[in-house]
Amino acid sequence: MRKTLAALIGAAATVTMITGAGVAAASPVYPASTSHPASAHQAVTGVENFQIVSASISGKRSPVVIYGAFNDRVVFVTATATTERFRFPGGSFRVTHKNTSSHQHFNTTTCAGTVRQSGTYKLSNGRGKYAGISGHGHFALRGLIVNRHTAHGCSRSPIAVQVIIQAQGPVTLP
């Protein structure tokens, strides 16, 4: 039971490194002279949303959709337990996150567990067209892990994981 719960927490923590994903209905705020968000020469300020949906057990590389002040798709690459690098065509930036709340539950009858986490994130260390990026916000993670039924209860290794992360916050791209 403890090893299964540890696997659940580990899987969620791995995917949490993404920091967040947003399904927020916030409108971006563009300066009057800006015709194209995320332009190399014009500032963009607004609300950015992130959404990550992963079914990967390893969680080391997951697709991310971002929209709001600028729109793109990205692959995040796990760096440490609290940082990731979002890699785009033409640039990248670092996402640092901190969990502020976490709840896990594993049901030994169904051999399935859930995890919920929330926290804050910060954007920094932009490269390429994202040089100088800054921003912060909140994220929420919901995860499901499923293990096999065995003659002795539940297997120790997950056979399926699904994680959804949503995040939103202000961003400035000079």
Mean pLDDT of 103-113: 97
**Residue 38 within a domain:** no
**Residue 61 within a domain:** yes
Instruction: Give the SS3 label for residue 87.
Output: strand
Most confident of 6-20, 42-56, 66-80: 42-56
**Residue 17 within a domain:** yes
Q: Using the predicted structure, report yes or no on whether residue 33 has a pLDDT greater than 60.
A: no
The tokens for 122 are 């910060």
This prediction has a pTM of: 0.73
The predicted pLDDT at position 89 comes to: 84
* Total of domains in the chain: 1
**Residue 37 within a domain:** no
The predicted pLDDT at position 68 comes to: 93
Distances, alpha carbon 169 to alpha carbons 13, 26, 49, 131, 156, in Å: 21, 9, 7, 18, 37
Range of the domain at 165: 2-26+43-173
Q: pLDDT digit string (tens) for 149-173?
A: 999 999 999 999 999 999 999 999 9
